[in-house]
Amino acid sequence: MSIFRCRECGRINRIAANSSESRTPHCGHCKADLDTSGAPQDVNAKALRKAIANSPVPILLDIWAPWCGPCRMVAPVLEEVGKERASDLMILKLNSDENQQMSGSLKVSGIPTMIVFKGGKESDRQSGAMNKSGLDSWLSSRV
């Protein structure tokens, strides 16, 4: 069983891992094509809360802003990690400029900040840019 979040409506979809269908799976709620690549998805505060409450797999949240240089360095690393862990880790991105209230309630003091949520709760966080091996080793003991 693999877990994929619908980009359009945010619904968490469960797709059978042994599905032999070659066509793109669709969201069970809104029928949009599901992105099964594992690429990070942008969320707002509402979508983030919903994902944290509903995801059966760990979430890695990247809190970033467009003006932040280290955030831009982390972006391709997250793309890569997301694709490698497509079905068992959900990577979400929250723009802290557009979601200041949510960033505040998450007590984000600097960006980039990465937070792992498991079972609806924060399990760990790390501030500052990480390269691929740094992120892999940080995640390996957490998700």
Which positions are annotated as active-site residues?
Answer: 68, 71
Residue listed under structure tokens 């500052």? 128
Contact yes or no for 53/120 (Cβ under 8 A):
yes
6, HSE (Cβ side, Cα atoms, 13 Å) = 19
**H helices present in 21-114, as ranges:** 45-54, 69-84, 100-105
Per CB under 5 A, does 11 bind Zn ion? Answer: yes
User: Binding string, 20-59, against Zn ion, x = CB under 5 A?
Assistant: -------x-xx-x---------------------------
Which listed range, 8-16, 46-54, 101-109, 113-121, lies at the site for Zn ion (CB under 5 A)? 8-16
**Residue 1 interacts with Zn ion (CB under 5 A): yes or no:** no
Does 72 sit near Zn ion (CB under 5 A)? no
Give me the phi and psi of 35, to 5 degrees please: -85, 110
Rule CB under 5 A: which of 99-128 touch Zn ion?
none
Tell me the sheet residues that pair with 63: 94, 113
**Residue 28 or 134 with smaller CB distance to Zn ion:** 28
Q: List contacts with Zn ion (CB under 5 A).
A: 6, 8-9, 11, 27, 29-30, 32
